[in-house]
Structures are given as C-alpha cells and as structure tokens.
Amino acid sequence: MGKHGRRIIGHSGIYLLGSLLARAVSFIMLPIYTRNLTPADYGVIELLSMIIDLVGLLLSLRIGQSIYRYYFKYDREEDRNQVLFSSYVTTLASSALGMICVLAFADQLSAAVFGNGEYVGLLRLFSLSMLFQGLVETPMVMLRAQQRPWFYLAASIAKLTMMLGLNIYFVVYRHLHVEGVIYSSLISGAVMTLLLGVYLVRSTGFCFSIAKAKAMMGFSLPFMAVGALSFYINFGDRYFLRLFGGGLEQVGVYSLGYKFGFLLTFIAGDPFFNVWDSEKFRIHKEHKNPPVVYQRVLLLYAAVLALVAVGLSLFGRNVIMIMANREYWGAAELIPVVCLAYICNCITSYGNIGILVKEKTIELTYGTLLAAVIVTAGYLLLIPRFGAMGAAWATLLAFASRMFWVVIRSRRYYDMQLEWARVLGIGAVAGLIWILSDLLRSESIYQSLMTNAVALAICVVALLYLPFLPADVRKEAKSLLFNPRSSFIRLKTLVGLKANGTV
C-alpha cells in the first residue's frame, strides 16, 4: 500500500470517528436525561425535536447534500469557494425561513402535536436551533472536502464536550429540565456556528453565486419528498403514541428503548456501509464471480448483525436498570423488536444492488411508499391496543415490508444468488438463544449480567460451529478471534473482496 493509500485510509478513520462522536451525543446524554428528567420530560424533548427536524427537512432545502457534487465538479479554487459560500448563504436563508414559520405557527403546531398550548414557549425557544443546524453542516462538509480530518475531529470533540458540560450545568445543577436541554443545545449550536462560520468566510471570502445556488437548490429539491417520507416512517410513531398510546410518558419510555435498538445501526450498520457502498460496485464490475462474494459477505454480516442484536437485547436491560430511574425500565422490552426492525433496514441496503446497478431507483421510492402505508396502519391498529410495543411492531412491519419489496425487485434486475436459508438459520439461532436467556432472567443485576454473558458466548460458539457459515469462513473466523492481526488479510481474501481473486 502506497503513501497515498495509507493517507486515504487514515483520513477515513478520522472522519468516521468524528461522525461517530457527532452521533454519539444523544447516547452519551442518556444517563443525564434518564436520571434527571421524567419520562414525560423526555417525551416533550423528543416531540419538540420532531417538530424542528420536520420543518427543517421541508424548508431547509437539504442543500448540504449537493455540496460534494458541485465542489468536486470544479477545479478552480474560486469556483469551489463560490460553491461553499453560496451553500452557506442559501442554508442561512432557508433555515431562517423555517425558524420564522415555527415562530409564526407555534400555537397551531403545539396544539397539533401536544394537544394543547402548554409548550408553545419552549417550541419558540427551540426554533432558534434551526439557524444553527444547517450553518454547522456546511463548514463541516468543507473540512472534509479540503481534507482537514484533524480539524473535523477537533470540532466534533468540541461540540460533544460543550454539550455534555452544558447539560450537566443546566439539567443536573440548575434543575431546569426540558428548558435546560434546550439552553444547552442553543448555546453549543451558537458557539459552533460562530467559530465554524468565521472559519468558512475567512477561507472562501464573500463570493455568492446566484447560478451555483440555483443549481444546488435544484439538485437538492428531489431529496425533500423522499426525506419527508422516510422521516414519517422513522419518527411518526412518537406523535401517534402521544395521541393514542398513553401520552408523553409513553413517548419518553419508547424513545429510550428506540435509541438502544437504533444502536445496531450505529455499531454495525453505518461503519459497514461506509465501506460497502462503494465496494459493492467495484466487486460487480471487476470480480470474476460477484455473487459468490455477495453470498459470503452477507453471511458474515448477518452473523455480526445477529450478535450485535442479541448483545443489545440482553445487556440493554442491564444498562437501562443501572443508568435510568425505575419509570424508564419498561424501555428494555422494546429493544429486541427495534433491533430486528433495523436488521431489516440493513438487509434492505445490502440487497438493493440490482436496483442501483440498473438505475431503477424508483423501486426504492415504491418500497418507501409501501412502508409508509403499512406503518400508518400499524400506528392506527397497534398503538391504541399495545402502546409503545405496538409502535415498535409497526416500525418492524414497515421496515420488513420495504426489505421484501427492495430485495425481490432488485433480484429481478440482478440476481445476487444470496443464501437466504442460511441467513434465516443464523437469525433462528440468535433468536432462540435470546428467548432462553430472557426466560432465565434474574432480578439481580449481577446474576443477569453473568447469564447474559454466557448466552452471548453460546451464540458466538453456535455461529462458529453450526453449518450456517461456510466451513472455511468459520475456520478463519476462529483464527481471527485468537490472532486478529495476522488473520485479517486472510479473512478479507477469503470472503472474496480482492477484485481479481478467486473464491
């Protein structure tokens, strides 16, 4: 590997760490929230965030999605600076429009989401955060485009540290509850916006281009409809749960369980697809027998997803009992269902190669529409009867329906020849072990931790010795456990990731 290759891998690792830190904020704050806020308080925060995110999604133009496309379209530094500054100004204008809309219609929004006007003041205060979300995104994209990984990482750490310190001050020390969380978000957002904004303007100068702004807006507009639909599928459950499923307390408990289930994406989804999203096309183009590679990678990935899901489902209960007040403990029951939903999401992203290769992306839209219809039915039928668990099952049914649609339609365009029987076998083993462990659950934290550790170890052993993974893969995986450094290259070759290799 040459110097350039090492630099790319090193920079990618730093950017990944920065992105993980940015997304880790909500998880790191959980012990503070669940020890100092009631479930109703936490539910209020979730619904306020839902309003701000939805308005931002509809009115902020999602211009950040177009920055890379147009930044690398030009070679001259002057043009690239115009792309960055035009994006920054456009984002400022659209974010300000969104904030004004929330301020103007705060009464109506509060009545629609909360059923009353009790939280109008908090909503108006929180609307200021809309100015900061987009204005932080553009400079952070600029840092990645300019290959400044350490600056990017430092900015991510600074924001995390600031958020943590401010939450401790306002929520723990000052006991300001929901208002304290909003203050923390606004102050940290304002500071980061100021620092990064000054850096961007000093780097680019004042060089707004109407033509480039229009081009980026035109590029970004189609993402708004799909984004809004996906937002509804992922976050509409909070609204319906407040409306039909027990009020703000249930929203708070559900949101905590959902976050633990969502950790599956954080741990095993995003890191994998950061590599796989480009690697899958290279394999399709260059490998002698792409389906063999796709089969093996899927089996290994399914094993990883199963282990992560079992681990989260088993130990999530222990973590919640340790870090949260008793009224939050019911969130643990939701974790396995949410984990299974996000496994479906990951399989959807893995099995869409035929759709992408043939550029039939309309199939993804159809799948998302199907999921939206099913999740709505689930919200209306399951939440009134089963509350938070009904919301979790509605999410699972929606994600599963989209998975089946995408995988089946993708196979029509290109058959990856995936071994679904083995994938189901892996899932069955993991599910059986989780069920047995749940039946043996103990109220003692110590005994529960020991039982869960044994159950997870049994799951690992079962996957290594049962014939769901290919024999040579299982052999190499065993070696990897005991000698990871020397085995990594062999494992990479074994699953077929080398384009010119044979399997």
Among 226, 213, 225, CA closest to 92:
213
Task: State pLDDT tens for residues 331-343.
Answer: 999 999 999 999 9
Q: 6: pLDDT confidence band, cut at 50, 70 and 90?
A: very low
pLDDT in tens, 365-401: 889 899 999 999 999 999 999 999 999 999 999 999 9
pLDDT (tens digit per residue) in 135-148: 887 887 777 766 67
pLDDT of residue 489: 47
Highest average pLDDT, of 209-213, 288-292, 376-380, comes from 376-380
Confidence of residue 69 (pLDDT cuts 50, 70, 90): low
> Which has the closest alpha carbon to 47: 100, 109, 133?
109
Are 459 and 304 in contact by the 8 Å Cβ rule? The answer is no
Q: In the prediction, which pLDDT does 61 show?
A: 52
Q: 486: pLDDT confidence band, cut at 50, 70 and 90?
A: very low
Residue 93 banded pLDDT, cuts 50, 70, 90: confident
Q: Is the model's pLDDT at 156 over the cut of 70?
A: yes
- So what's the pLDDT on residue 340? 95
Which is more confident, 181 or 443?
181
* pLDDT band at residue 23 using 50, 70 and 90 as cut-offs: low
pLDDT mean across residues, the chain: 82
Paired tokens of 309: 């899901």
Q: What is the mean pLDDT of residues 106-128?
A: 90
Which pLDDT score, from 0 to 100, does residue 75 have?
A: 80
DSSP 66: G
Contacts of residue 241, Cβ cutoff 8 Å, sequence gap at least 6 = 250, 251, 254, 383, 387, 388, 391
Calculate the alpha carbon distances from 294 to 156, 300, 351 in Å.
34, 10, 9
Query: What pLDDT, on the 0 to 100 scale, is given for residue 502?
Result: 37
Integer angstrom CA distances of residue 300 from 17, 59, 273, 281, 356: 23, 41, 14, 19, 22
Asked if residue 494 has pLDDT above 60, the reply is no
**pLDDT tens figures, 423-456:** 999 999 999 999 888 888 777 778 888 888 899 8
CA distance 424 to 432: 12
Residue 490 has pLDDT above 70, yes or no: no
Quick check: helix, strand or coil at residue 261?
helix
Structure-model confidence comparison of residues 173 and 442, the more confident one: 173
How does pLDDT run across 236-268, given as a tens digit for each residue? 888 898 888 778 888 999 999 998 888 888 888
Q: Indicate if the pLDDT at residue 498 is higher than 60.
A: no
Alpha carbon separation from 415 to 308, 353, 354 (Å, rounded):
28, 9, 7
What secondary structure letter does DSSP report for 466?
S
pLDDT of 353 higher than 80: yes
Q: What percent of the chain has pLDDT over 70?
A: 85
474 versus 481: the higher-pLDDT residue is: 474
Residue 482: CB atoms within 10 Å: 8
Contact assessment for residue 290 and residue 497, using Cβ atoms and an 8 Å cutoff: no
Mean pLDDT of 81-85: 88
pTM of the model: 0.79
**pLDDT (tens digit per residue) in 261-288:** 888 888 888 778 766 776 787 788 777 8
Q: Which of 116-125, 299-308, 468-477 has the lowest mean pLDDT?
A: 468-477
In this prediction, residues 203-224 reach a mean pLDDT of 81
| pLDDT reported for residue 123 | 93
Q: Which of 152, 126, 146, 151 is nearest to 56 (CA)?
A: 126
State how far the Cα of 238 lies from the Cα of 259, in Å rounded to an integer.
Answer: 13
pLDDT confidence of residue 9: 45
- Regarding predicted confidence, which is higher, 56 or 460? 460
pLDDT tens for each residue of 41-60: 989 998 998 888 888 777 75
